[in-house]
Amino acid sequence: KNEVEQSPQNLTAQEGEFITINCSYSVGISALHWLQQHPGGGIVSLFMLSSGKKKHGRLIATINIQEKHSSLHITASHPRDSAVYICAVRSASGGSNYKLTFGKGTLLTVNP
């Protein structure tokens, strides 16, 4: 069983819809990352959080440490949001090397 589980694996939405992607993990963590990977492969870091909630533009990320769960929300989705969204966690025992464990990603397709 992967230490980091994402759902759904695939998500298709219409432009304007509110999107939620979920991430559950099984280990104690010191931080959780949400990453975006576009076709072609380049990765962009969207958020790094260890508690609470962060917002950047139309993106919102929340984390519940007790429940070992995080969500990424996209408001007013747009076709340019189409990408793979990846959840990654840094173990609480990771020391100073900040090694990440990745989920398999959620493929989001937003249709116009």
Partner 1 sequence: GAVVSQHPSWVICKSGTSVKIECRSLDFQATTMFWYRQFPKQSLMLMATSNEGSKATYEQGVEKDKFLINHASLTLSTLTVTSAHPEDSSFYICSASAPGVSEQYFGPGTRLTVT
Which residues of the chain form contacts with partner 1 (CB under 8 A)? Answer: 2, 30-31, 33, 35, 41-45, 48, 86, 88, 90, 96-100, 102-105
Minimum CB–partner distance for residue 107 and partner 1 (Å): 9
| Residue 59 identity | L
Cβ count within 10 A of residue 76: 12
Minimum CB–partner distance for residue 85 and partner 1 (Å): 12
Residue with smaller CB distance to partner 1, 41 or 112: 41
Residue with smaller CB distance to partner 1, 3 or 17: 3
Residue with smaller CB distance to partner 1, 55 or 99: 99
Nearest to 83 by CA among 33, 43, 24: 43
Whole-angstrom CA distances from 63 to 15, 49, 67, 89 are 26, 7, 9, 11
